[in-house]
Amino acid sequence: MLSYHSFRYNESILFTGHADGSIASHRLWESAANGEDLLTLTLASSRSFARGSRDLESPPVLSLEVHQVGRIRYVLVADGGGRIRVFTENGTLYGTAIASSCPLAFMRQRLLFLTASGAGSLDLRSMSVKEIECDGWNGSLAKSFSFDGSERSNAYGVTNTGDLIHVVLLGDVTNLKCRVRTIRKAEIDGPKTMGVSRFAGDCTSGHRQSHTGTTLEQKSNLTNLCSQIML
């Protein structure tokens, strides 16, 4: 999933990618009745960007990211087949590129990404992909990556052998460098999908934990919203 604040007041946009390759956009509104602290989240509208094929096996959506140029926002969608699709906010397909290895995570606002065994960049003008190997890679394959929110050139991931890996991604679209800082053994089974499962669990149970506790109004509000998004 991908979400960010809209240019409109109290509006957020939520994008969801699905296992059949489909992508949907949802506009959400926050409002408070009579100046109360409790916010109400309302689903204003939903639309499909791309529909998965029932006849053909479409690769699942692996990652979503937003890239902003001035006041124009582009939504980057990477799937399990190595395909990178770029959409505008209104759902228009801007272009498509193919990477030899599936992008696992994009660096925000840099059009750089990490794959299972290296790194790559996307030129938005020509929709061309450049891929390189990471210096210091030990031959294992990464299962997942996440970029550091404060030091965005740093990324952390888990390999197929259960190792923790720290990668530094430097440069730009034309001059890209990738270096492995550390690889350490970790006593874990492997990467876990947190965001989607947590959201799905909240949708099915109708529970939401807030700083002030759980209320019946919050449960009902979240349950109604989730049921609309998951239709």
pLDDT at position 74: 92
Q: Report in angstroms the alpha-carbon separations of 142 from 46, 98, 102, 139, 200.
A: 34, 19, 11, 10, 25
pLDDT at position 200: 40
Looking at residue 35, the DSSP 8-state letter turns out to be G
Helices (H) and strands (E) in the chain, counts: 2, 16
Q: How confident is the model at residue 154 (pLDDT cuts 50, 70, 90)?
A: very high
- Report whether pLDDT(204) > 50: no
The pairing of beta strand 23-32 with beta strand 39-50: antiparallel
Here the tokens at position 147 are 């970029």
How many whole angstroms separate alpha carbon 66 and alpha carbon 76?
6
Q: Report in angstroms the alpha-carbon separations of 84 from 4, 14, 156.
A: 20, 19, 22
Q: Could you tell me the end-to-end alpha-carbon distance of the chain, in angstroms, rounded to an integer? A: 16
**Other C-beta atoms within 10 Å of 10: how many?**
13
Which of 119, 190, 117, 102 has its CA nearest to residue 154? 119
How many whole angstroms separate alpha carbon 93 and alpha carbon 19?
19
Condensed to tens digits (0 to 9), the pLDDT of residues 163-194 reads: 899 999 998 888 899 999 998 887 655 555 54
CA dihedral 39, 42, 48, 53 (to 10 degrees): 90
Q: How confident is the model at residue 33 (pLDDT cuts 50, 70, 90)?
A: low
Here the tokens at position 141 are 């394959």
Which of 112, 115, 149, 156 has its CA nearest to residue 134? 115
Which of 217, 120, 97, 107 has its CA nearest to residue 173? 120
- Report whether pLDDT(221) > 70: no
- Report whether pLDDT(5) > 60: yes
How many whole angstroms separate alpha carbon 61 and alpha carbon 14?
15
